[in-house]
Amino acid sequence: MNRSQKASPATQPRQLNSEKLSGDGLPSFRRTRKSHARRFVRYRTELPLVLKVFDRHGYVRIHGRCFELAEAGLGAVTTSELAVGEMVSVELSIPDMPEPIALRAVVRHRTGFLNGCEFVGLLPEQLEWIRKFCQDLQPT
């Protein structure tokens, strides 16, 4: 093709808008990754828990194990699959506590029977119990 001929859009090299380029010359979508920095440290643990979920038959109790705990939520393996966005009541059995702690949470992530839940409406004393329990645990 000579200079007087225009290239068709299919044969023309694709031009990136310079506004979409980062300082390193890469398109900005290539460098925008979700940060792996977390708001709260997660701690390894092994605690029994019971989740109460409301379904068409009423409340259902689902047993599981909490394997990670943080101020804002927990990671758990459960005996039934949960739905992302589902509200659950959590009964977490912390050692040296006379009764399980009753918390509310929303399921944020799920892969099979592995669930990540975020606490909702945590009371100051509940937060203090979690902090006290976690102080002797290993961060993940």
In a domain, 68, yes or no: yes
In a domain, 113, yes or no: yes
In a domain, 81, yes or no: yes
The pLDDT of residue 4 is above 70? no
> For 17, what's the count of Cα atoms within 13 Å in the CB-facing half-sphere?
4
In a domain, 7, yes or no: no
How does pLDDT run across 21-65, given as a tens digit for each residue?
445 444 444 444 455 666 889 999 999 999 999 988 899 999 999
Please state, in angstroms and rounded to a whole number, the distance separating the CA atoms of residues 30 and 22. 9
Residue keyed to tokens 């039934």: 80
Distance from chain centroid for Cα 9: 43
Backbone angles phi, psi at 18, to 5 degrees: -65, -20
Q: Is 11 helix (H, G, I), strand (E, B) or coil?
A: coil
Please state, in angstroms and rounded to a whole number, the distance separating the CA atoms of residues 44 and 20. 41
In a domain, 82, yes or no: yes
Count of domains observed in the chain: 1
Q: CATH number, domain at 102?
A: 2.40.10.220
Parent domain of 95: 43-134
How does pLDDT run across 53-110, given as a tens digit for each residue?
998 889 999 999 999 999 999 999 999 999 999 999 999 999 888 899 999 999 999 9
Residues 6+ apart with CB under 8 A from 116: 73, 74, 75, 107, 108, 109, 110
The pLDDT of residue 8 is above 80? no
The pLDDT of residue 133 is above 50? yes
In a domain, 19, yes or no: no
Higher-pLDDT residue of 100, 17: 100
Higher-pLDDT residue of 2, 139: 139
pTM: 0.71
